[in-house]
């Protein structure tokens, strides 16, 4: 029998990898709490700094704008933050706890650190970031042959999170779709979820209908 928890009545949703103003609007209208812009050239969801600035301008007040970077150096972060009014940085590479702390101090923005999970051996890594990140994003560990560190549409065993007690806010990611997010919430009790490929008709192409369906499915 699958164990279940009671998730919060109001689940905060992050729609990541947005590239079109209409999709920012769709996320906002559906009730998303965050929108994510990807600054990683190899991703089909990547945007330029100029594109991200335009998209950020479309976000209504109260919708948090998150910039996703992968092992970014200070020069890239300086360039992004000089032009794009982000509310949070999401570090989705192999950043060490020391690098996370350094970025948080240098830029004065909340930092979310993504940690990939495949099995029980990965759980201990979460604690390495609890003291230095404002939030933790728990994602499925990318397959060994994957070109991307996230956004691969792969889920992990949500039961691995069953007994964890979280000292910081956290967000569940990894292969979530309108069809499975309700189950993921019941198993993990997550109060926040992140979706990217699960709201796309093709890699990098968001579908407003799927965005709405995903957010509706979190309302248990």
Given the residues 16, 122, 157, 183, select the one marked as catalytic: 16
Q: Is 128 a catalytic residue?
A: no
Distance CA 77, CA 74 (A): 5
Where on the phi/psi map is residue 174: left (φ > 0), alpha (ψ -120 to 50), or beta?
left
Give the H/E segment covering residue 12.
strand 12-16
Distance CA 186, CA 134 (A): 24
Q: Is 145 a catalytic residue?
A: no
Helix ranges, the chain (H): 21-30, 49-58, 74-83, 97-107, 124-130, 181-188, 208-217
Closest CA to 33 of 48, 16, 54: 16
Closest CA to 113 of 143, 140, 85, 89: 89
Structural contact between residues 81 and 107, judged by C-beta atoms closer than 8 angstroms = yes
Given the residues 73, 139, 145, 183, select the one marked as catalytic: 139
* Catalytic residue ranges: 16, 139
């Amino acid at each position: 029998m699958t164990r279940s928890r009671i998730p919060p009545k109001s689940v905060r949703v992050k729609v990541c990898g947005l590239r079109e103003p209409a999709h920012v609007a769709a996320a906002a209208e559906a009730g998303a709490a965050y929108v994510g812009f990807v600054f990683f050239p190899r991703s089909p969801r990547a945007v330029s700094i100029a594109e991200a600035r335009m998209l950020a301008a479309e976000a209504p007040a109260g919708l948090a704008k998150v910039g996703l970077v992968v092992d970014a150096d200070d020069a890239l972060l300086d360039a992004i933050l000089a032009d794009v009014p982000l509310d949070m940085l999401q570090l989705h590479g192999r950043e060490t706890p020391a690098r996370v702390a350094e970025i948080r101090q240098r830029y004065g923005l909340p930092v979310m650190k993504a940690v990939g999970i495949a099995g029980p051996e990965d759980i201990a890594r979460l604690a390495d970031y609890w003291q230095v990140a404002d939030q933790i994003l728990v994602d499925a560990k990318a397959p060994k042959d994957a070109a991307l560190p996230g956004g691969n549409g792969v889920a992990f065993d949500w039961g691995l999170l069953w007994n964890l007690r979280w000292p910081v806010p956290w967000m569940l990611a990894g292969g979530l779709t309108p069809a499975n997010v309700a189950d993921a919430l019941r198993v993990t009790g997550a109060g926040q979820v992140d979706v990217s490929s699960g709201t796309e008709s093709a890699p990098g192409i968001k579908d407003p209908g799927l965005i709405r369906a995903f957010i509706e499915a979190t309302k248990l």
